Structure 1
Amino acid sequence: MCVLTAEPPLTSEPVSPAPAAVQHLIVDEESSGQRLDNYLIRILKGVPKTHVYRIIRSGEVRRNKGRVSADDRVAAGDVLRIPPIRLSERAQDKALNPTAPARDFPVVFEDDAFLAIAKPAGVAVHGGSGVSFGVIEQMRQARPQAKLLELVHRLDRETSGLLLIAKKKQALRALQDQFRERETGKTYLALVKGSWPDRLKVLDQPLHKYLLPDGERRVKVVAPDHPDAMRSLTLVKVIQRLAPPDGLQSMVDTFSLLEVTIKTGRTHQIRVHLANAGHVILGDDKYGDFELNRQLIRSGLKRMFLHAWRLRLRHPLSNESMELHAQLPQELQEWVASMQRLPN
């Protein structure tokens, strides 16, 4: 458990609810490698996730006196400054009594160590940033007998597909190590605007995260010498070119169905890399073609066409090589099937 230095006095237990005083938390060995948001949500018992994300985004949370992001990973010995937090009794009661409805999701694989589910589009993986609850909270409600259910990684709310959930702490650490060391193979299916050039197979472009004035997160391609550049590598393969349905041909003459493998797991990496190449993902409401998106809705595509399709990994306990697949959702299959195939 972490060590807390604060006014009021030191405590080695999670705060519930958090006191209205500055806290300094020293990260222990057991928590090393955990995402900052997950670490704080676990430690600050009774504090709503929305508030945890708010103090991180605002810069009030500091690591070793510097700014830190929600998806940064803490290390043993890090000193985290947490600002004063006051909660009304009503907010405390609401935070301590979760109202997420019980929900199970289609299971692709499950054993005693972890499970892989097929996450639907439009469902957040966890509560926070304006979302009361997500996949993990609903699954915990649906499986009250489970001793541990923890997210191994993330998917954007708008993205469907494979999501891993650990059932043992040892499995959680082993799987997160694989993701952190880039030992997994993550492949997505994406339908993009235009005819993707066969020669463009590797996108090696640094990315930078920033905030809009309203606090919403965005990502952009930057020069390699940018002070906050994060190297990002994406591999692209064309599966099929398709003719747009009637009513869209005046806006675009070709769609390309792509197999996209990411070698780094940056926020919005696929969406930004493909858009920067001039081929936005259909239905993308952050980096896409907004006028085309409006027409796509009328044509039956009501979501972003990005799906986490295949994951290659090693079993966290046996070390056996595995390959998991989440079938393309029915609504996307039907939409692709409705279009004429063009010569590759």
Structure 2
Amino acid sequence: MKHIIEGKPAKQAAPIATSAARIVQVDAEFAGQRLDNFLIRELKGVPKTHVYRIIRSGEVRVNKGRAGADSRLEAGDLVRVPPVRVSEKAADKLEHPAPAREFPVLLEDEHLIVIDKPAGVAVHGGSGVSFGVIEQLRRARAHSRFLELVHRLDRETSGVLLVAKKRSALTGLQDQFRGRETGKTYLALVMGVWPARNKVIDVPLRKYLQEDGERRVRTTTADDAQGMRSMTLVKVRETYAPRPMQGLPAMSLLEVTIKTGRTHQIRVHLSSQGHPIVGDDKYGDFDLNRRAQKRGLRRMFLHAWRLQFNHPATQERLEMRAELPPELADFLKTETIDSSHA
């Protein structure tokens, strides 16, 4: 496709025409979806502000008539998608899409895919990340008409991740997450001996910005209007004795189940109790992280181990598990289990 570059002042990025107008017929899979969400999917890489602009301007038509962003589409509707203009940077993303990549599959059927996400890969592009799991998976499965993330994991967290293959599966599974009908349990290695009696952390969390503009999360009080109730359940799986000769303190491997899904919830809750996750570069103990790195741990020790949910079509209760990846399992093998605390 030939790009058309229009003149602009020298210091501004020239807008680039990314496509010609086209008519897209809505199939049954997308029936009931809002027009704005439909277009955001059709116009991947185009800023949402542009999408809303072309809807307001009337350039987008549904069955030859104007429609609002919140209009619900029906099967068979004909949607006119106009040509859009984006910056050179955004156009470059469209011309150089994410590389195709498959991920280890724990379960797959016509409704969903359960994958074992590796650490170091974002689940989606954005915030300085060009692409993530979902963009790479879509590229690898170009024949798939629908692939959407059901939930998210931090970039440095590995483990069970759900992807929907149908819109009905997406909405059904997300309803379960919102209704707290899922069971999400992580494995986390923390500094120190976790007291077995400390089984519930019910402490509100609040987002804030650092001076450099980076988003962080901290604990707060129940009377904080901007605080959000956050609940974490903790069970000790193993306790590891100190290794003074190697500069490592006692450590505990925890099974952590979250009842609420707040940003950085596990990391902040565990750190607030004086037991930060080993390898956590935001809320952890930096000296411990440095020593653990010398022992071969080059990532945060947080892994989405188990996910329980109802299958969106059959309603069968499923329990998916992703065992510890080699880099975490190998680090544990170098430690000595202290059976007195196990």
User: How would you bin the TM-score normalised by the shorter chain?
Assistant: 0.7 to 0.9
Partner of 1:30: 33
| Counterpart position of 1:255 | 251
How far has the Cα of 1:255 moved from its partner?
0.3
- Alignment partners' CA distance in 1, 2:119 and 2:256: 18
Following superposition, the deviation at residue 248 of structure 1 comes to 4.0
In the superposition, the TM-score normalised over structure 1's length comes to: 0.76
Cα contact 2:240–2:336 (8 A) shared by 1:
yes
Alignment of 1:277-296 (within 5 A): 277-296=273-292
Structure 1: which amino acid aligns with 2:269? H
Within the alignment, does 1:298 sit opposite 2:297 as a pair?
no
Q: Is residue 29–residue 76 contact of structure 1 (8 Å, CA) maintained in 2?
A: no
Q: Measured at CA, do residues 301 and 43 of structure 1 come closer, stay the same or move farther in structure 2, by a change above 3 Å?
A: same
Task: Provide the residue aligned with 1:269 in structure 2.
Answer: 265
Q: Please tell me the residue identity of whatever aligns with 1:200.
A: N
Distance 2:44 2:129 in 1: 18
One-letter identity of the residue aligned with 1:47: V
Deviation, structure 1 residue 270: 0.3
* Structure 2 equivalent of residue 173 of structure 1: 171
Cα distance change, pair 292–111 in 1 and its aligned pair in 2 (3 A): same
**In the alignment, which of 307, 310, 330 is matched to residue 334 of structure 1?**
330
1:13-52 alignment runs, 5 A limit: 30-31=33-34, 42=41, 46-47=45-46
Q: Which residue of the partner structure matches residue 53 of structure 2? A: none
Structure 2 alignment gaps of length 5 or more: 1-16, 19-30, 51-68, 72-83
Change (3 A) 1:145 1:42: closer
Q: Indicate which of 210, 229, 244 corresponds to 2:208.
A: 210
Change (3 A) 1:329 1:44: same
Is the 1:101–1:138 contact (alpha carbons within 8 Å) kept by the matching residues of 2?
yes
Partners of 2:336 and 2:127 in 1: CA distance: 40
Aligned 8 A contact 1:312 1:321 in 2: yes
CA distance in 2 between counterparts of 1:322 and 1:205 reads 30
Instruction: Give me the TM-score of the superposition, normalised by structure 2.
Output: 0.76
Q: Does 1:111 align with 2:124?
A: no
Q: Is the radius of gyration larger for structure 1 or structure 2?
A: 2
Q: Shift of the alpha carbon at 1:239?
A: 0.6
What aligned pairs does 1:226-245 form with structure 2 within 5 A after superposition? 226-245=224-243
2:10 corresponding residue in structure 1: none
1:187-202 alignment, distance < 5 Å: 187-202=185-200
Distance 1:167 1:205 in 2: 36
Q: How many angstroms does 1:334 deviate by?
A: 1.3
1:308 has 2:326 as partner: no
Q: CA RMSD in A?
A: 2.8
Label 1:45 to 1:104 Cα distance change in 2 as closer, same or farther (>3 A). closer
2:9 match: none
Contact between 2:295 and 2:331, CA under 8 Å: does it hold in 1?
Answer: no
Q: How many positions carry a matched residue from both structures? A: 283
Amino acid across the alignment from 2:288: L
- Shift in alpha-carbon separation, 1:46–1:135, aligned structure 2, 3 A: closer
1:216: how far off? 1.7
Structure 1: distance between partners of 2:111 and 2:257: 26
Asked if the contact 1:48/1:95 (under 8 Å) is kept, the reply is: no
SS at match of 1:161: strand
Give how far 1:97 is off. Answer: 2.6
Displacement of 1:98 in angstroms is: 4.2
How far residue 293 of structure 1 moved from its aligned partner, in angstroms, is 0.6
- In 2, are the aligned partners of 1:159 and 1:308 still within 8 Å (CA)? yes
Q: Does 1:185 align with 2:188?
A: no
Equivalent-residue separation in structure 2 for 1:41 and 1:307 (angstroms): 31
Show the counterpart of 1:10.
Answer: none
